[in-house]
Amino acid sequence: MSLVTVQLGQCGNQIGREVFNAICSDVHGTHGLCSKKENESYHDACKERFFIEAESGVPVARAVLVDMEPKVISQTLSIAAKSGYWKYDDHSHFCQKQGSGNNWANGYTVHGPRHKEAIMNLVQKEAEKCDRLGGFFTIMSMAGGTGSGLGAFVTQCLRDAFPSSFILNHVIWPYGTGEVIVQNYNSVLTLSHLYQSSDALLVHENDVIHKICAQLMHMKQISFKDVNQVIAHQLGSVFQPTYTAEDGLHYSRNPLGDLMETLVPHPEFKMLGLRNIPQMPENSLAYSTFSWPGLIKHLRQMLIANAKMEEGIDWQVQPPRPGSSVPSSHSTNKLLHFNTSIANLVILRGKDTHSTDLGSFRDPSLYTSWLNPQDAFSAWKTPRAFNKYEKSASLVSNSQFLLKPLDNVVRKAWNMFASKAYVHQYTKYGIEEEDFLDSFTALEQVISSYTTL
Amino acid sequence: MCPARFTRTTSPRPPRAPHDPSAPGGLLRGCGGRCGGSRGRDGAMVRKGPGSAEGWVGAMPGGRALPGAVGALCRAMPPPARLVPETLRRAKLDRPQATLDFWRLLYALLKQIHGGKWSEADVLDTQIRFVKSALWYQGYGRPELHRLPSDGSAGSRELLLAFSWLLHRISLLEQLLARNRVRTGDETSVCMCEDDLSQSEQGTTEIAPEYGPEDRVDVRYLQWLNGRLRFQWRSLHAQHQEQCKLLHQIHLLTSGSHVDQILGHFSVTEMDLIRQPENYKQLVQLLELETMQLEAFLEWKQLEPVYWQWMETVLDNMAEEGNMCKPQDAHIEKSSLPKVTSCCPWADSLTGQINKLSRDLMALRDQLHELVTHRKSAWEEKVKARAEDLQREDFPATVRKIQEAVELKLLDLSNLCAPKQNKVHGLCRLVYRSKHSASKISFSRSVSKEPAPAVSATEVIRELQMREASLQRELKQLREECRQRLDEIAEGLDGVICISP
């Protein structure tokens, strides 16, 4: 099952490149810590998923690069080719001469329709090269102009052209104190449009990753490249091949489908958060040892307490005891601290995964009342270690992780909208106040659904 | 069981072949005062030749043919189902030893018919229940069979009756042979039948089950399950597309290589044989097995009348015994019948209902006729009035639009009311045609000699697309109705806004 990656805008293209880099270096690394046969099937599964064999022997990434400016794309193409391990297809990109000026409406109503045919042609070509199309993985930022507006439009086109394929949008949540004034408008519009066409939204918050770089990786000067590399590592830990069944004999050939089925079957709940432990600078890896019980305990507490990384977890937060509170009440404990989940997926990679005990994740009090842990919790495993981490665990969670950030963004956007600030920039290109109101309504609905879990 | 009394004939005969002392010899009459003779019309009792070890003694002409018929029948049974002539013989005499064999046989056969997996591991009780319900499903309603005990201790003659009924009624052998055909081509199932689901589901949805507070299921959970089902369907769809793509590659790359000019290219099985020639042994074995069964079937077909004559004797036996054993059956309660019978109203009430229905239909038809004429006249007047109004507006355009809409509706209606033509249904072999689009050659059930009809894939696609379009229109209509209902409900409630999706 092959995934076609659509990299949108500057952010999307840079992250996309790092993702392919991370995947490739993981596959070629010698730290698999498993048998040769296992390594080979891992290698094959990964290759089928992300790359095509070219005549030159260098695998070609299954990706379409889209940006309004040529600079980032050419950079991306050349850096990729320089690595020697992989490259992009030379024809699989689309760019124009000028950017969108951070204007969502420009991207959505002007650039989108104008270039729809060219972009969809590229996508169609990539899709046809796949023996089995496993779905689309789009990478974009929510706040900018190209990625967000054009990205929302392209996602819609993907849905129209491939009605039964899986579409996963990877969305970068901007810094809270971001430089773009209208980023909240862009975010609101993007999210509400994506919610309609996409199957799931996997979110990475810039603030969070920045903190990880600072505190866990001990970086002094944090550049976008560092942030992107952390994001790429986390994405790789989710999308590299795994066994999805307990007694699986083959690596799963349907990563997106399996993910969607376990996490986002309900149409109102599509926001996914991602946590990955352990996370540390590469040179410390050799000196650290990990134990599964420790990792799992930390991961579980990160989930419950809505912690973003394995340091500074609030260990006081505990799930409500059964019978002590009425399920549908708005008890303060629930609202303020405890993170109720709808569904969780834990992915374990490395040594001794077969002996891990994930019973603590199957505690019914972690989950919302209308779903039992058998339906809500899944675990994927592989004995093959990822990216030099002897043991690593990831958590993809459909829970209230993003409730607060979403609430904040909608509130700020609404405050700006109430005074009609900057709205003319959007109405200039055809996004009317009606459209804004529709977006607000849609997101309020999402917020309300997540709050009343 | 009534005591079996048998007589010997008085005329001199060559010595009989030795037979099993535990069982009375052969097919001789039992019961009551009818001993000592053969049946009226047939006259002589014909003896079996000495070579037969089965000990069959025919009670009628063609007795020599009976073992042949029975033997052919047994050989024509597909492998998991085992049948030996001895079992049939014992069953006629209602011997308990044959009962278990017969239950197993019927289980194996009915499982295959219903397309299920045949597993040896099923407990006898489960097997018996399955056979009873499957027979009921096929329409076999003889209460004596359904009252048979679940431990398989008695009733082999009833089972023999049921078996023969199946043979005749649903063309058991033909169906099994068709199902178990060795397939070397790439098959795909085509179904262009009209979906009758919408009509049949109506009854169940109207009667909403009463749920107590404990039974309440959160609607979000149902939405969750529905979403999962959808995703699984989409995964299946993607896998299917992959399979089609790979089939296409094989067909394309091997065109021109096949011995059979009409087919022109290899199928997956054939490709596999080329890559791993050792597998041909297995294929040959399967083909030989199938050939044996087919030959047995042909033999059976020629000797079939003999079997039915023999079955008539079984029926006669049962009738006689039935007269004697009636008083015992009387007080077996209805409750021992399987639950399923209570759902099906029995004959009398059924005919009464049918009569009522036909009367109602006639009345409705007359009413409809009246209404139509009434409507038509009212419509004419309306049209006249409207036409005058529209003279000012763009009349031809609106008329055209109206005509198109009406045609579309009529098309749907006529499709619904059209008599059901025989649509293609069943398995077809996929054959690739490069100049025109890919076509399919139907090898469904008939054993006919003329070349089977070909259905082109584009035709099927077109028909299915039309069907899809009409279903979409229906869906849109239903959605509109739901939306209106929701709006009505929302109006009734205070402070509630309904935001439809």
User: What pLDDT, on the 0 to 100 scale, is given for residue A76?
Assistant: 92
- Tokens 């030099």 belong to A388
Supply the DSSP symbol for A381. E
The H or E element that residue B294 is part of is helix B280-330
CA distance A58 to A49: 15
Q: How confident is the model at residue A443 (pLDDT cuts 50, 70, 90)?
A: very high
In angstroms, the separation between the Cα of residue A135 and the nearest Cα of chain B is 9
pLDDT (tens digit, 9 = 90+) per residue, A137-185?
A: 999 999 887 789 999 999 999 999 999 999 999 999 998 887 788 899 9
Task: Starting at the earlier edge strand, list the strands of the sheet with A63-67.
Answer: A93-95, A63-67, A2-8, A133-141, A167-173, A200-205, A271-277, A391-399, A341-350, A377-382
Which stretch of A2-11, A302-311, A330-339, A419-428 has the lowest confidence by average pLDDT? Answer: A330-339
A interface with B, Cβ–Cβ < 8 A, is 1, 131-134, 164-166, 254, 257, 260-261, 264-268, 369-371, 375, 441
Cis peptide before A255 (omega within 30 of 0): no
- More confident site: A3 or A331: A3
Which uninterrupted H or E stretch holds A168?
strand A167-173
- Give the residue from chain A lying closest to B239, CA to CA: A132
pLDDT exceeds 70 at position B18: no
> How many Cβ pairs closer than 8 A exist between chain A and B?
57
Give the mean pLDDT of A327-353.
75
**What ipTM was predicted for this assembly?**
0.91
| Average pLDDT score over chain A | 89
A257: which chain B residues are within 8 Å (Cβ-Cβ)?
Answer: 231-232, 234-235, 238
A370–B221 C-beta distance less than 8 A: yes
C-alpha B335, offset from chain centre: 28
**Per-residue pLDDT tens over the stretch A117-128:** 999 999 999 999
Mutation target among A370, A371, A374, A437 for the B interface, most CBs of B within 10 A: A370
Structure tokens at B332: 């077996």
Instruction: Map residue A288 onto helix, strand or coil.
Output: coil
For residue A131, CA distances in Å to A61, A134, A165, B248, B256 come to: 15, 9, 14, 11, 24
By the CB < 8 Å criterion, does B420 face chain A?
no
Q: State the DSSP code for B279.
A: G
* Highest mean pLDDT (candidates A293-302, A304-313, B69-78, B262-271): A293-302
- C-alpha angle A174/A389/A283, rounded to 5°? 85
SS3 of A34, please?
coil
For residue B197, the model assigns a pLDDT of 45
**pLDDT value at residue B212:** 55
Does any CB of chain A come closer than 8 Å to the CB of residue B500?
Answer: no
Spatial separation of the C-alpha atoms in residues A411 and A400, rounded to whole Å: 17
pLDDT reported for residue A236: 94
pLDDT score of B142 more than 70: yes
- Enumerate the H helices of B52-155 as residue ranges: 65-76, 85-92, 97-113, 124-138, 143-146
pLDDT, average across residues A89-102: 80
Structure confidence at residue B340 as a pLDDT band (50, 70, 90): very low
DSSP annotation string for B167-191: HHHTTHHHHHHHHT----S-EEEEE
Share of chain A above pLDDT 90, in %: 56
Residue with tokens 């890896």: A285
Flag if A370 and B220 touch (Cβ within 8 Å): yes
Q: What local confidence, expressed as pLDDT, does residue B347 receive?
A: 58
pLDDT for B420 equals 58
Residue B50 has pLDDT above 70, yes or no: no
Shortest Cα–Cα distance, A300 to chain B (Å): 24
| Average pLDDT, integer, range B59-86 | 77
Which among B218-232, B307-321, B486-500 has the top mean pLDDT? B218-232
Q: What is the mean pLDDT of residues A216-236?
A: 91
Q: pLDDT category, B440, cuts 50, 70, 90?
A: low
Q: How confident is the model at residue B135 (pLDDT cuts 50, 70, 90)?
A: confident
For B444-454, what is each residue's pLDDT tens digit?
Answer: 333 333 345 67
Residue pLDDT, tens place only, B80-118: 777 888 888 888 888 888 888 888 888 888 888 887 666
Work out the mean pLDDT of chain B and round it to a whole number: 73
The answer to whether the CB atoms of A265 and B226 lie below 8 A apart is yes
